[in-house]
Amino acid sequence: MRRVLEDEEYQVSIVQDGKDALARVKSQLPDLLILDLKLGDVSGQDILNELKDDSLTSDIPVIIYTAAVLEAEDLNTIIKAHPVRYRGVYVVQKPFELENLLSLVEQVVNEPVR
């Protein structure tokens, strides 16, 4: 995923630890966050909720990916129930084609300013 995004000249930063991810997002304010729901120390959904609860990060678009079908369905239900809160949040299920992810990244990054 990193190589494909860098080949398209996106600047990519990878963080393995959920707590480090929150700190980095808040300090760097990226144009987009790609987030796995399954992280070791913190769940991706917890990170998403913390981002949405903070006015500094609430408008950052997030692409969430997961192999867990039930979690993806639950998250999609939550997003549909709260469209304003979760505006700019997209769920992608693994396995996925990198080309499809790249298309979504291009769409999200090229949307009008948040």
| pLDDT for the residue 67 | 86
Q: What is the DSSP code string of 45-95?
A: HHHHHHHHHSTTTTTS-EEEEES-HHHHHHHHHHHHH-TTTTTTEEEEESS
Full domain range(s) for residue 27: 2-109
Residue 105 domain-assigned?
yes
Residue 114 lies in a domain: no
What is the pLDDT at residue 113? 57
What pLDDT, in 10s, does the model give residues 2-59?
999 999 999 998 887 777 888 899 999 999 999 988 877 788 889 999 999 999 999 9
Domain count, the chain: 1
Q: Tell me, what CATH number does 100's domain have? A: 3.40.50.2300
